[in-house]
Amino acid sequence: LWRKFVRLACNFMVIFIPWEMRIKKIESHFGSGVASYFIFLRWLFGINIVLTIMTGAFIVIPELIAGQPFGSTASKTIPKEHVVSAQDLDTVWSLGGYLQYSVLFYGYYGRERRIGRAGYRLPLAYFLVGMAVFAYSFIILLKKMAKNSHNSLASVPNENYTFCWRVFCAWDYLIGNPEAAESKTAAIVNSIREAILEEQEKKKSKNLVVTICLRVVANILVLLSLAGSIYLIYFVVDRSQKLEQSKKELTLWEKNEVSVVVSLVTMLAPSAFDLIAALEMYHPRTTLRFQLARVLVLYLGNLYSLIIALLDKVNSMSTEEAATKNNTSHWIDSTIFATRTAPEEEKWSTPGPGTGLPRNSTWAPEETSIPAYTLSEANKTTVYTQRPQDQCWETYVGQEMLKLSIIDMLFTVASILLIDFFRGLFVRYLSDYWCWDLESKFPEYGEFKIAENVLHLVYNQGMIWMGAFFSPCLPAFNVLKLIGLMYLRSWAVLTCNVPHQQVFRASRSNNFYLAMLLFMLFLCMLPTIFAIVRYKPSLNCGPFSGQEKMYDIVSETIEKDFPAWFGSMVGYVSSPVVILPAVLLLFMLIYYLQSIARSLKLSNQQLRMQIQNARSEDKKKVAQMVEARIQTQEESSMRLPKDSDLGSRLSSAHSVVPQSNGTVVNLDSSSSKRGRGETAAQRTPPSPQSGLGSPSAPLPGTSKCRPEQHINRCLRGRSASAGDRHQDRSCSPGMRTKHAEVVRSEPLFRRDFQQIDPPLRGPGLSAVVPRGPRSCAPRYYIINERDSRQKIHPTFWPERHFRMDALGDMVMCPRTTRQGVSWAPQQGHSPQLSEEEEDAPRRELVQWSLHPQSLRGLQGAPHFYAGDRSESQTLVPEHQGRMHFKSWDDSFEAPLDRPAYGHKKPRSRNFQSAQHPPKLRGKPKVEPSLTESDSMSAASSSDQQNGSNDQYPQVTPSQAKFRRSAGQLGRRKPISRQELVADLNDLICSNV
Amino acid sequence: MGNKQTVFAHEQLEAYQDCTFFTRKEIMRLFYRYQDLAPQLVPLDYTSCPDVKVPYELIGSMPELKDNPFRQRIAQVFSEDGDGHMTLDNFLDMFSVMSEMAPRDLKAYYAFKIYDFNNDGYICAWDLEQTVTKLTRGELSTEEVSLVCEKVLDEADGDHDGRLSLEDFQNMILRAPDFLSTFHIRI
């Protein structure tokens, strides 16, 4: 019930998230990239709402309620000669007339320190809110970025199974609504396309030189166009200023050309960049980044050139003002007004502008207002009458910003309508009557360009931030604009845009946009702050009129409205004594956090690596299991041909047999060519055996073969358990606890081995005996695997282990019995060779049992199969998992850094080296035993022959390997190599 | 309440509870859902274990399954003889596996069976093609589909035999972050 309630609440909440459904719909149709634009838009909308509330609640509404009403003061009254034209569309359009003297702009706000009955300190509020807007934006941006980066850390992209997950985990089985199903299908198609695209991008081969050249060219082009656009804007602003000075009446175009040009540039240049970016052949995501960065630079350049031009104008205005001041003072001197003294002027002026205006203590504004007033009264020239209002440069900047914003909006709407909608209509309805296919060739349907649109939002927001101080209503206007944009855009996207042809993933938590926004915010803040700090507020308007600097309001408030101790405290705090250490502390803190973050990053990376390793090990393990299973299958299938071979050998000449066996080998166990070649090469040593033994081969061979295989099968389980026991033993320090999950953790074990082995190999012969069993372990492990594979069930593991544990005690028994078997007829030699027939596990067992017991008489044969055993195991992996194993030779040559399966080889080599010393001692015995056996009974020798023949399929290719490994070994221990060769020769000789 | 007692014998209900991940209440609810599918077919008294099957057409029209591209496979996998007609046991079994309580191993096993269209114990290229086309409702071109299949095999096929065995599949799917949350039918 609770869950249901929560779900209901969630559903309910979704309703209140603005445009959630709309965005979801767009996302399902156009992919996450387009949706990220809208999500970004929505987020900006949220920010702007907060900004609007801040400015509205603390500045606009108090001013409206408690401030002086319109027309009460000079700064709030439209000059008389302008009243006539105040309603003209022309004036309204350029935000003059009534709009200029409204709450929209800085100039309207009064400069009384307290307004209303509550004594609201409007100027202070104005200043603080202006700063708070920036502060809030910064904080919210950083917060969002931190959250995003956290998210992106949490969901580390895992490239291992991209496609699998997209296919098998894509469908949400909870979906029970046709529309949702449709959306989901669209989303799946999109995501699969994205993945395909990524894959193709990975594959794309590149011609480096050409691309580099192209990129250089592209960058030059971009720089040129950037410089051009900046120059253009500067030129236009300059020209408009000159025009303003030279002409009184400006045409509509002349008034708006700045904004229009800026908007045009911002609209056209991105498309040019887009074209240029096509030259560069980057990955789409990189292209997007580059595009965004360039467009951002462009926008910034535009904004900056604009603002610099404006500030230039402001500068010239203030110089003009200074000039007029000089003029007027000179004029005052020369006219009748000049005869009046300052107090008189004051007296005269107070009733003039001041209806309810409290006495101003500062003298400067009074002075300028008087001449201005007198001038307006005198109405000498229009230029002079305009001055008091025009000098309000803050209003002027705000006006420009608002104008820019409005024109930008108009252009956006126009471009959406023109470029998207009408183009869509045109393409849609005229394509039937056109001479080429409009839908697929030239005009096409518009694509939604994420980069430009996002950048446009950023740019827009930048303008807002820049102008917010001078025009408190700009955020409110922006809210409206964003709402309109949201609906228009989403409508346009859904109706007349086609999904981007190259879909790619732009994750929702994209910090890139936010980083750009932050950058923009910072850069937009700079000019504002600069203006606030650098320029003197205009004298006749705005809340700061009369102060030397705008921030004086704060110190003034502190001085006057707070107790004295607070002021002195602030004085101390702001003194260098406190500030410097604080800054130092901050630096230290930043450094500290930075280093912590770096170390965390490092550890994170390592952990990820570890996960990756574990995963790949797992993957290999799965592969191995399957291979082991396949191997068993092959072995069983090999056995059948073997038997048939034996049957055929009854009648056929013995010389054919090895060949046929060889072909079986080639077909079954390894198809690698080298294996075959070496089969041919290496068949020589045993062939004399077969040549000798074959005459008496047939009958006992066939008769013996089967039962032994049976035994073999029966024994496999035991030997497996024995193997496990070895493994257990070898790993016993600390590993025993893991036994229940040995198989799971097997790869780790192996790696441990690998690390342990090399150092152990160094000592060489001294550590022979302990190394033997340990090196056995992994091989046993494979047998286990095979064992388990025969019963194909994954959940079999624990049971098997259980069984092995149970059998662990019994291990001694089979071993001893085995030894008994192998010991007893040893002089007969045939059982020993019959052992050869048995497949791996038992041989291992024998070897193992040989070790401590040092059955020297047996050394010749088992030693042989030491190589065989390991090789036959490793061989199949080789040809099965050739991918892993491409460098067989390399893995031999450089055994220490060999990949997945290579670790078996050192062990085999190891094993052999371990076998060597006993063999040295055993060599004398081998000879007699073999000769003895040969001479003793034909049956036994036939057995031998049989056995060896039977072994060929497995042995021959592996012998080659064995030889190789022996050679390798010999490189390290030349003596042992000689011994080995001698041994082989001995074997041959004895057989002959 | 009296109704419940008559539908199942006590032991039956116990057995169902043991075999599924449901509580008694949920079992009853599922039974009524089942009964609702074919009121004329399914008796309200199950104490005698009647051998009733609801045809696939009715199962597939359940709102939970209606829009699922794999509904037929689901029904086939969980039905006894692979034709999609389900007995009550199959029905309970299906929703039990699909419930939130089912362990992920079990889910992975059944997911494998569902995606194994030709029931050969492996997900081969053909199965993958089926999956992808069903998933995308044929919106991808054939080249894209074959590319996707190729990539999937490339990624998950541990032994390079050109098809996914159950181990491969489990190995892959158990790592998927959202497998558990998506392979799940709420009823």
**Nearest CB to B167; choose among A177, A185, A622:** A622
Contact A720, A814 (CB under 8 A): no
- The residue ranking higher by pLDDT, A966 or A316, is A316
- pLDDT reported for residue A388: 44
Residue A563 backbone zone (phi > 0: left; psi -120 to 50: alpha; other: beta): beta
Per-residue pLDDT for A931 more than 80? no
Query: A41-45, A307-311, A345-349, A445-449 — which is least confidently predicted?
Result: A345-349
Using the 8-state DSSP alphabet, how is residue A793 labeled? -
In angstroms, the CA A632 to CA A264 distance is 74
Per-residue pLDDT for A592 more than 90? yes
Per-residue pLDDT for A690 more than 80? no
Placement of tokens 């040129």 in the chain = A224
CA distances from A272 to A231, A259, A280 (A): 17, 20, 13
Highest mean pLDDT among A257-261, A660-664, A923-927, A932-936: A257-261
CA neighbor of A388 nearest in space, from A538, A281, A214? A538
Highest mean pLDDT among A407-416, A907-916, A939-948: A407-416
Chain-chain contact of B140 with A623 (C-beta, under 8 angstroms): no
Chain-chain contact of A189 with B139 (C-beta, under 8 angstroms): yes
Contact A306, A262 (CB under 8 A): yes
- Reduce the DSSP state of residue A497 to 3 states and report it: strand
**Nearest CB to A161; choose among B156, B165, B184:** B156
**Which chain B residues are within 8 Å of A501, Cβ to Cβ?**
none
The distance of A12 to chain B (nearest Cα, Å) reads 19
**Nearest CB to A171; choose among B155, B166, B182:** B182
**Nearest CB to A794; choose among B132, B166, B183:** B166
Q: What is the pLDDT of residues A699-709, one digit of tens each?
A: 333 333 344 44
- The residue ranking higher by pLDDT, A285 or B144, is B144
Mean pLDDT of the A230-236 span? 79
Q: At A371, which amino acid appears? A: P
Angle at CA of residue B157, ends B153 and B159, nearest 5°? 140
CB of A797 less than 8 A from some CB of B: no
CATH topology of domain B103-186: Recoverin; domain 1 (1.10.238)
- pLDDT reported for residue A800: 40
- The residue ranking higher by pLDDT, A444 or B110, is B110
Q: At A386, which amino acid appears? A: Q
**Nearest CB to A174; choose among B161, B166, B184:** B184
Q: What is the pLDDT of residues A120-140, one digit of tens each?
A: 777 777 888 888 888 888 888
Please report, for chain A, the start and end positions of each structural domain, with discontinuous segments joined by +: 22-223+262-293+393-543
CB of A702 less than 8 A from some CB of B: no
CA distances from A407 to A261, A263, A266, A458, B75 (A): 10, 7, 12, 16, 61
Question: What residues are paired with B50 via a beta bridge?
Answer: none
CB of A886 less than 8 A from some CB of B: no
In angstroms, the CA A17 to CA A19 distance is 6
CA neighbor of A473 nearest in space, from A64, A104, A107? A104
- pLDDT reported for residue A753: 38
Helices (H), A762-903: 768-790, 797-808, 812-823, 830-837, 840-853, 860-880, 888-893
A862 exposed, middle or buried (CB, 10 Å; 0-12, 13-18, 19+)? buried
Per-residue pLDDT for A684 more than 50? no
CA distances from A250 to A91, A257, A876, A890, A940 (A): 11, 11, 89, 83, 121
- pLDDT reported for residue A378: 38
Which residues are CB-contacts of A88 (< 8 A; sequence separation ≥ 6)? A97
Confidence bin at A336 (pLDDT 50/70/90): very low
CA neighbor of A911 nearest in space, from A726, A745, A743, A749? A726
The distance of B139 to chain A (nearest Cα, Å) reads 7
Query: A56-70, A386-400, B92-106 — which is least confidently predicted?
Result: A386-400
**Nearest CB to A627; choose among B63, B135, B159:** B159
- The residue ranking higher by pLDDT, A573 or A812, is A573
Which residues are CB-contacts of A286 (< 8 A; sequence separation ≥ 6)? none
Chain-chain contact of A173 with B148 (C-beta, under 8 angstroms): no
Which residues are CB-contacts of A109 (< 8 A; sequence separation ≥ 6)? A59, A63, A67, A103, A122, A123, A126, A542, A543
Q: What is the pLDDT of residues A733-777, one digit of tens each?
A: 333 433 433 334 334 334 443 443 333 343 333 333 333 333 333
Placement of tokens 């934006």 in the chain = A137
Contact A942, A693 (CB under 8 A): yes
Q: At A542, which amino acid appears? A: G
- Reduce the DSSP state of residue A451 to 3 states and report it: helix
**Which chain B residues are within 8 Å of A189, Cβ to Cβ?**
136, 139-140
Chain-chain contact of B148 with A167 (C-beta, under 8 angstroms): yes
Confidence bin at A493 (pLDDT 50/70/90): confident
Nearest CA in chain A to B111: A168
Query: A828-837, B134-143, B171-180 — which is least confidently predicted?
Result: A828-837
Helices (H), chain B: 2-7, 10-19, 24-37, 56-60, 63-66, 71-78, 88-97, 104-115, 125-136, 142-156, 166-173, 179-182
Please give the helix or strand (H or E) that residue A25 lies within, else none. helix A20-55
**Which chain A residues are within 8 Å of B182, Cβ to Cβ?**
169-174
Chain-chain contact of A167 with B139 (C-beta, under 8 angstroms): no
- The residue ranking higher by pLDDT, A568 or A921, is A568
Mean pLDDT of the B149-155 span? 78
B150 exposed, middle or buried (CB, 10 Å; 0-12, 13-18, 19+)? middle
The pTM of the full predicted model, rounded to 2 decimals, is 0.52
In angstroms, the CA A376 to CA A370 distance is 10
In angstroms, the CA B81 to CA A435 distance is 59
Nearest CA in chain A to B157: A623
Q: Do domains B7-101 and B103-186 have the same CATH topology?
A: yes
Contact A872, A865 (CB under 8 A): no
Confidence bin at A848 (pLDDT 50/70/90): very low
> What CATH code is assigned to B7-101?
1.10.238.10
Contact A487, A26 (CB under 8 A): no
pLDDT above 90 as % of chain A: 2
Chain-chain contact of B183 with A169 (C-beta, under 8 angstroms): yes
- pLDDT reported for residue A640: 52
**Which chain B residues are within 8 Å of A883, Cβ to Cβ?**
160
- pLDDT reported for residue A593: 93
Per-residue pLDDT for B110 more than 70? yes
- pLDDT reported for residue A71: 58
Mean pLDDT of the A107-132 span? 72
CA neighbor of B187 nearest in space, from B54, B90, B77, B94? B94
pLDDT above 70 as % of chain A: 39
- pLDDT reported for residue A698: 38
Per-residue pLDDT for A590 more than 90? yes
- pLDDT reported for residue A826: 39
Mean pLDDT of the A825-845 span? 40
Mean pLDDT of the A673-689 span? 39
Confidence bin at A273 (pLDDT 50/70/90): confident
CA torsion A235→A238→A243→A249, rounded to 10°?
100
Rg of chain B's alpha carbons, rounded to an integer? 18
- pLDDT reported for residue A27: 66
Mean pLDDT of the A559-575 span? 77
Per-residue pLDDT for A59 more than 50? yes
- Reduce the DSSP state of residue B164 to 3 states and report it: strand
Please report, for chain B, the start and end positions of each structural domain, with discontinuous segments joined by +: 7-101, 103-186
